[in-house]
Amino acid sequence: MRIYISGRFEDQQRLRPQRDALWAMGHEVVSSWLDEIAHPSGMMDEIFHKKLSIKDLGEVRAADMLILDTLGERSSGKQIEYGAALSSVTPKLVYIVGPRTSTFHYLADHVFSNWEDCLHALHNTRSTSQVAQDE
């Protein structure tokens, strides 16, 4: 399954092990922002942020699932990605890890209090779907 992890840029290091665990289960994590660094010198901020936004929304569209991390502080970017996943023409699974902080969070398919529970559920989902494909 192609998964997009949505979170704050400041939480990259905290979320990378979660991404690695998903890859180890056989999922493809398409959220390239987890490995991004500060924008190149000489590029205007407006152009840089516009390009990042377009790239991130494209990755959300390409994903089969979005996992919104609400364990970090609030930010607007991850909420926009969440909304894009919910309103996608192609249906997506939408999970939240952490507390609901918005009315729209009640639209999620599942809410987990921590990443361990989320990864456990995805591991079981992967195992079940893999068995079905093998049969």
Would you tell me how many other CB atoms lie within 10 Å of the CB of residue 104? 12
Nearest Cα to 1, choosing from 126, 97, 110?
126
Q: Which domains does the chain have, with CATH numbers?
A: 2-134 (3.40.50.1220)
Please indicate whether residue 51 or residue 132 has the higher confidence score (pLDDT). 51
| Phi, psi angles (nearest 5°) of residue 41 | -65, 145
| Phi, psi angles (nearest 5°) of residue 98 | 120, -175
Q: Tens of pLDDT along 32-81? A: 999 987 777 888 889 888 988 999 999 999 999 999 999 977 777 888 89
What average pLDDT does the chain have? 88
| pLDDT on residue 39 | 73
| Largest Cα span, the chain | 55
Pairing type for strands 110-112 and 28-29 reads unpaired
What is the distance between the alpha carbons of residues 60 and 95, in angstroms, rounded to a whole number? 13
Instruction: State the pLDDT confidence band at 126, using cuts at 50, 70 and 90.
Output: low
Instruction: State the pLDDT confidence band at 117, using cuts at 50, 70 and 90.
Output: very high
Q: Is the pLDDT of residue 112 over 50?
A: yes
Q: Is the pLDDT of residue 131 over 70?
A: no
Nearest Cα to 87, choosing from 76, 79, 75?
79
